[in-house]
Amino acid sequence: MPSSISDSTLALRRLRNYFMERPTRAGILARAALGIPRDDESSLRATLLGRIRAHIRIDGTIGGATLPSIWGAAQLLDLGARLTEGPSRRLLESLLALQNHPGAYHEGCTAARHAHHACEHYLSGFFAPAPTSHRVTPLTLPTGKTFRAEPAGRFAVSCFALAVALRAGQLARPLVAQHVASLIRLNSEWVDWGGYYAPDLAFCALAALARLPEPDNHAAESLVAVIRANQRVDGTWPSTDLFHALEALALVQSPLRETLLRRGLPALLSHQRPDGGFGRMAGEERSWIAVRVLLAVGEGGRKLP
């Protein structure tokens, strides 16, 4: 398995070549992180921002669908936009309006859900991707992770939306704060890895909690400890998508982060193709995740975008 410094250097060299000419959001972000920006980066960024904004409808959604709307907002933030005016503001407001609506993960209660704190008696503030009458799965996150079970899909989408809300500076909103508190309340549930909650959902929660402002980032620490306890010798996690896991860990501020990412590096590099990318499924996004992991490990764990 590749794991040495020379393997990491080769992987980064391939990624530089892979991203060198890509006129995409991932290309801009990767080139900035790798220190190889193009001369036309500013105009390319403006073009991409314009394209995303042009798809925002008068109702504030992108295509009338929740997941594309969240992803559009995330891309705007990645490209340096503020969701404070015009179409971008409509987009943010349309997402925030989904909290505590019918179809949210925490809606209702059964004996099993209540026993695992997965109901409205323990949770609040979750975003509703659609009414319960409308199936939302299978759905695939930008990382390439696909959720097929309906409850898990609704949980994952809500965490993705929460991450966007936190990045947009909305923590002071009561429902956003309630969603954060709900995820923290679930920390005791992750100990039973692969139990009631699918392991991939732990990384959904971590990716959202990692977006809390620096003084509050300790909220993710106990979850990181559970993730550490369940990492296998080969650096992967049982019943977990590797890229989905590594993206969340690359975001979090924790003394354990570099250790966990380093353990996962051989498994990550085993997926790299000769062209420098990481496959067809969410290829650019997974390649961008690889850049962040490699730089985090190689540069002493500094925080990356």
pLDDT single digits (tens) 155-188:
999 999 999 999 999 999 999 999 999 999 998 8
pLDDT score, position 304:
44
Place of tokens 């764990």: 301
Which two tokens mark 193?
């890895």
Query: What is the rounded distance in angstroms from the CA atom of residue 189 to the CA atom of residue 117?
Result: 8
Place of tokens 């020379």: 6
Whether 53 and 4 have beta carbons less than 8 Å apart is answered as no
Strands (E), the chain: 139-140, 146-147
Give the pLDDT band (50/70/90) at residue 7: confident
User: 140 - beta bridge partners?
Assistant: 146
Which two tokens mark 44?
């390319």
Phi and psi, residue 261, nearest 5°: -65, -40
186-205 per-position pLDDT tens digit: 988 999 999 999 999 999 99
Query: What is the rounded distance in angstroms from the CA atom of residue 59 to the CA atom of residue 146?
Result: 27
Which two tokens mark 211?
């977006």
Return the SS3 of 146.
strand
Q: Look up residue 138 and give its DSSP letter.
A: S
What average pLDDT does the segment 196-215 reach?
92
Query: What is the rounded distance in angstroms from the CA atom of residue 292 to the CA atom of residue 30?
Result: 8
